[in-house]
Amino acid sequence: MDLISIDDLSAEEIENLLALSDGFLEIASRPIKKVPTLRGRTQINMFFEASTRTQSSFELAGKRLSADVINIKGSSSSVSKGESLKDTILTLESYRPDIIVMRHPQVGAARMATRYTNASVINAGDGAGEHPTQCLLDIYSLRRTVGELRGLKVAIVGDVLRSRVARSNIFGFRKMGMDVRLVGPPTLMPPGIEAWDVPVHYDLEALEDVDVVYLLRMQMERAKGVVPPVPSLREYSRVWGLSPYDLRPEQWVMHPGPINRGVELTADLADHGRSLILQQVESGLALRMAILYHVLVPSAQEEDELAFSSRGE
Ligand code: NCD
């Protein structure tokens, strides 16, 4: 199966993935952090956009599951010589990969890739489209931290306009029964936001009664050639940048990273005891191991039998 949108998964499938992730999290605490689960399988990571967390965690996840993992970077691939995405995928298809993990600046690129390969395609971010594995790791982080997700109130704050994370998280969080609202300046909300059927607030007062404040990065690199939606980062941070003083002590803070200290949050909020930012990264590795496994072995019963075995086949 492919994972292109968070809507490809039901709430029940997400619950299964969270349970699988617990098992894979345990593997990270072993002295030898490797199981033979995906031995003989081939995973190709294709990143046509910058990435630290997503790329490194997919690579490590594949390696810890014993898959053969190769990495293709946009800037060093033949795409920089003019090869089309279609031809790149067709070329790599000759190696008969089992999984292609793809990040691309264009919305719909991962879905398009599924046309030219028999591998399971995992969308690791397509422009301002979706980022389903970020959503899943955020759900997993919250499950590890607060347990019950149903009824949890979450505010997604900031640059919703250019955020694929917001697009996946709004729908994924709601699927798990959470109460989601968007908070930020009107210029950072996408046109047609009404159709998403999610409450939008233009004031930080909307953070008062939430359990989780989910901050988004200001994606200035996507503003090239267009009128920027905010006058300057300094002005944005003065009005919308959060510090520990803006939150109640029992509220949790999340951010997909990379964080911009001093823009959407102060340095001391990033390092605060209620910040889940680094725990999200840890959750991401276990969750991505679960995803790699799930897209190849979709039957739950098989999953339980095979997932954590340290035996060879
Ligand atoms: C996000 C992304 O690339 O969409 N980062 C990530 O995957 N952890 C968010 C961002 O770049 O701000």
Give the C-alpha separation, 175 to 163, whole Å: 19
Question: Given the CA of residue 217, which atom of ligand 1 is nearest to it?
Answer: 12
Catalytic residues, by residue number, are 53-54, 81, 103, 131
Residue with CA nearest ligand 1 atom 12: 217
Q: Is the dihedral of CA 286, 113, 189, 168 positive or negative?
A: negative
- What pLDDT sits at residue 298? 56
Which of 6, 49, 54 for a ligand 1 pocket mutation test, highest count of atoms within 8 Å of Cβ?
Answer: 54
Distance 138 CA to ligand 1 centre (A): 12
CATH number for 6-130+280-307 (one of 3.30.160.20, 1.10.760.10, 3.20.20.70, 3.40.50.1370): it is 3.40.50.1370
Which of 101, 134, 291 for a ligand 1 pocket mutation test, highest count of atoms within 8 Å of Cβ?
Answer: 134
- What pLDDT sits at residue 305? 65
Give the CA distances from residue 280 to residues 6, 119, 142, 244, in Å, rounded to whole numbers and listed in that order: 18, 28, 9, 19
Which of 54, 161, 165, 285 for a ligand 1 pocket mutation test, highest count of atoms within 8 Å of Cβ?
Answer: 165
> Could you check whether 6-130+280-307 and 132-279 share the same CATH topology?
yes
**Ligand 1 pocket, CB under 6 A:** 53-54, 125, 131, 134, 164-165, 217, 219, 256-257
Question: Given the CA of residue 50, which atom of ligand 1 is nearest to it?
Answer: 3
Distance 304 CA to ligand 1 centre (A): 31
Amino acid at 73: K
For the chain, the three-class secondary structure string (H helix, E strand, C coil) is: CCECCHHHCCHHHHHHHHHHHHHHHHHCCCCCCCCCCCCCCEEEEEECCCCCHHHHHHHHHHHHCCCEEEEEEHHHCHHHHCCCHHHHHHHHHCCCCCEEEEEECCCCHHHHHHHHCCCEEEEEEECCCCCHHHHHHHHHHHHHHHCCCCCCEEEEECCCCCCHHHHHHHHHHHHCCCEEEEECCHHHCCCCHHHHCCCEECCHHHHCCCCEEEECCCCHHHHCCCCCCCCCHHHHHHHHCECHHHCCCCCEEECCCCCCECCCECHHHHCCCCECHHHHHHHHHHHHHHHHHHHHCCCHHHHHHHCCCCCCC
Q: Which CATH architecture has domain 132-279?
A: 3-Layer(aba) Sandwich (3.40)
Q: What is the mean pLDDT of each run of 10 residues along the chain (313 residues)?
A: 97 97 96 95 96 97 98 82 89 96 96 97 97 98 98 98 97 98 96 94 97 95 77 92 97 97 97 97 98 81 64 51
- What pLDDT sits at residue 281? 98
Give the C-alpha separation, 133 to 47, whole Å: 15
Name, in order, each residue with C-beta under 8 angstroms of 18's C-beta and a sequence gap of 6 or more.
139, 140, 143, 287, 290
Question: Given the CA of residue 54, which atom of ligand 1 is nearest to it?
Answer: 7
Distance 242 CA to ligand 1 centre (A): 19
- What pLDDT sits at residue 77? 78
Residue boundaries of the structural domains of the chain? 6-130+280-307, 132-279
